Amino acid sequence: MNDLHRPVLEWYDEHARELPWRGLEATPWSVMVSEFMLQQTPVARVIPVHAAWLERWPAPADLAAEEPGEAVRMWGRLGYPRRALRLHAAAVAITESHGGEVPSDHAELLALPGVGDYTAAAIASFAFGQRHVVLDTNVRRVFARAASGVEFPANSVNRAERDLAAGLLPEDEATAATWSVAVMELGALVCTAKAPRCHSCPIEDRCAWVAEGRPAHAGPPRKVQGFAGTDRQVRGRLLSVVREADHAVAKPRLDVVWDEPVQRERALASLLADGLLVQVVATGPDGLPDGDHPHYALP
DNA sequence: CATCCGTGGGA
DNA sequence: TTCCCAAGGAT
């Protein structure tokens, strides 16, 4: 135990949010679904969608039995819908190769579609109580401040940062798992990116950044992605039309969402390439091909 | 290693 | 209103 463990663990015991994917009733599958949804999407928006998913698909095999497009539709407006496709693909892999049970082995988790370093460590830690370095944006920010004395971590994880996190991880397996979620929670609720609540922080008196007088960020500028006018925006509009439709959508209904034709066609092509949309042969009431326009649907 | 991939809420 | 940013992954 170093001198950070006890205050952070005690703070977590008192202040942790009760979330659907925490607690004794949560299954590994529930944890896994939450981790996919929480990749770049805030907790408040995930909660209702996560509940709907778990009700409809209580186990990986239930999702695997559906068409991938159903996952995309149920994903709603969480953003980055390729995650829905990957989660469906992961459910298929679990059903076919892991007996329908979310694997507990870190390497097996990492091999699943959509599971990277963070998500593999998170599932192994939070669903199975294992000891892993869990480095998400919250943890990185807490360690940058408390241990390194800077406001924000580097743009990408480096060796020194991973070594630092490994060195801070409690030896005991169960304690390490709780530590990981506790540091994340501290970053989410207290050690926030903007306006951190240092006076509510259990390690304020041990924080290197506070000791330095909370110096402003001095490293290379942190990149913030634009959105307006990007292909991402166009893709979002196109997919939204199909997602909300009951039947295949004819091309003219997609053309109206974006004026610039070159970018619009590029975005549509990329959605098809990603497998988020498929072109279908639409049929009218007579069973014959319907009109001259191509039609699009979820896969 | 940099870039791309959605969406919405808060300051 | 604009800007920031939110439990990342794949290429």
Q: What is the pLDDT of residues A160-195, one digit of tens each?
A: 999 999 999 999 999 999 999 999 999 999 999 999
Let me know if residue A10 belongs to a domain. yes
Domain that holds residue A137: 5-211
pLDDT one-digit tens code per residue, A253-287: 999 999 999 999 999 999 999 999 999 987 766 66
- The Cα A124–Cα A163 span in angstroms is 19
Assess whether pLDDT exceeds 90 at residue A25: no
Could you give the CA distance from residue A91 to residue A113 in angstroms, rounded to a whole number? 9
DSSP A255: H
- The pLDDT assigned to A259 comes to 96
**Which residue, A134, A207, A219, is CA-closest to A169?**
A134
Within a domain: A217: no
Q: Are residues A100 and A141 in the same domain?
A: yes
Closest nucleotide relative to residue A240's CA, C1' based: B6
Mean pLDDT, chain A, rounded, equals 96
Statement: the CB of A230 is under 7 Å from strand B: yes
pLDDT band of A143, cuts 50, 70, 90: very high
A189 and A239 share a domain? no
Nearest to A108 by CA among A90, A133, A131, A83: A90
In this predicted structure, what is the pLDDT of residue A93? Answer: 98
Banded model confidence at residue A15, pLDDT cuts 50, 70, 90? very high
Strand C-proximal residues, CB under 7 Å? Answer: A 19, 21-22, 34-35, 38-43, 79-80, 86, 113-120, 122, 136-138, 141, 184-185, 187-188, 192-194, 222, 224-225, 227
Answer yes or no: do A174 and A273 share one domain. no
pLDDT class of A97 with cuts at 50, 70, 90:
very high
Nucleotide nearest to A22 (CA to C1'): C7
Residue whose token pair is 């580097």: A154
List the single range of A24-28, A87-91, A102-106 with lowest mean pLDDT. A24-28
Write down which residue in A183, A211, A239 finishes a domain.
A211
| Structure-token match 């870190």, residue found | A106
Question: Locate tokens 């390690």: which residue?
Answer: A203
Q: Mind telling me the catalytic residues of A?
A: 35
pLDDT at position A288: 61
What are the helix (H) ranges across chain A?
5-15, 28-37, 43-56, 60-64, 68-75, 82-97, 106-110, 117-126, 137-146, 159-168, 173-189, 208-211, 231-244, 251-255, 261-274
Residue A77 lies in a domain: yes
Q: Are A121 and A133 in contact (CB under 8 A)?
A: yes
Q: What domain count does chain A have? A: 2
Do A243 and A205 belong together in one domain?
no
If asked whether residues A83 and A142 sit together in one domain, one would say yes
Residue A280 DSSP SS3:
strand
pLDDT of residue A52: 98
Whether the predicted pLDDT of A220 surpasses 90: no
User: Considering the domain boundaries, does residue A226 fall inside one?
Assistant: no
